[in-house]
Amino acid sequence: MLGLATGSTPVPFYQELIRLHREEGMSFARVITFNLDEYRGLDRAHPESYWSFMHRQLFDHIDVPAESIHLPLGIVDDVPAHCAAYEQAILAAGGIDFQLLGIGRTGHIGFNEPGSPRDSRTREIHLDPITRQDAAPAFGGIEQVPTTAITMGCGTILAARRIALLAFGSNKAAIVKEAIEGPVTDRVSASFLQDHPDAAFYLDAEAASLL
């Protein structure tokens, strides 16, 4: 069971999975996936929805069965019930074996912005202004970026048996340093990974330049 992330960071990882599938016969037929998050208010068909992103970048190119793919819904009436059902579906599928993460400049994992409790679960969250600013180019302006999202919580993520956080580029160097060398605090959700028994950061030289 795989926990998956969106954003620019995992794209090379997904390209390698596609290559392994096409060239080396790796099958995803028995894989179940749960994504971290989805923007609120976006229909699945919206080009910037994470549903669209994941299909474009990965699912359309491998043999994972459609019924094994899970992302929160961006448009849903009863948000708490939807979030509780997402948590329940993760448990029913056996829990997350391997969770892939990126990190936002706010230190978020998933969309767990500063102040997210360690034991938080899937819920609606207000996106930090920095996060919305980083998403603005893709949406053609900050006013088009949704203000909230549905995200797995820190507790949901920390329950994964194994966690890999990827970070690339100099704009991640300061927050990577805080997450790894700073105090474990809800001001930097990624710092909670310090206490996880099997979490690793995979960095390029720029992202690791302040360590």
Q: Which of 17, 36, 58, 96 binds ligand F6R (CB under 6 A)?
A: 36
Query: Binding to ligand F6R by residue 40, rule CB under 6 A?
Result: no
Q: How far is CA 2 from CA 5, 38, 204, in A?
A: 10, 17, 23
Q: How far is the CB of 191 from ligand F6R (least distance, A)?
A: 14
Q: Which residue from 1, 2, 3, 6 is in contact with ligand F6R, where contact means CB under 6 A?
A: 6
Tokens 């359309």 -> residue: 60
Give the whole-angstrom CA distance, residue 200 versus residue 80.
31
Determine the size of the site formed for ligand F6R (CB under 6 A): 14
Give the position of tokens 């028995």: 30
Binding ligand F6R by CB under 6 A: which of 8, 15, 27, 133?
A: 8
Residues 6+ apart with CB under 8 A from 203: 166, 167, 168, 172, 176, 211
Binding mask 89-108 for ligand F6R (x = CB under 6 A): -------------xxx---x
Cβ closest to ligand F6R, residue 23 vs residue 182: 182
Give the phi and the psi of residue 69 in degrees, each rounded to 5.
Answer: -95, 130
Q: Is residue 59 near ligand F6R by the rule CB under 6 A?
A: no
Residue from 5, 73, 193, 199 touching ligand F6R (CB under 6 A): that is: 5
Contact string (CB under 6 A) for ligand F6R, positions 148-187, x = contact: ----------------------------------------
C-alpha–C-alpha distance, residues 158 and 32, integer Å? 18
Contact status: 7 vs ligand F6R (CB under 6 A): yes
32 vs 164, which CB is nearer to ligand F6R?
164
Helix (H) or strand (E) holding 163: strand 162-167
Q: In angstroms, rounded to a whole number, what is the distance separating the alpha carbons of residues 100 and 145?
A: 24
Q: Which residues bind ligand F6R (CB under 6 A)?
A: 5-9, 36-37, 102-104, 108-111
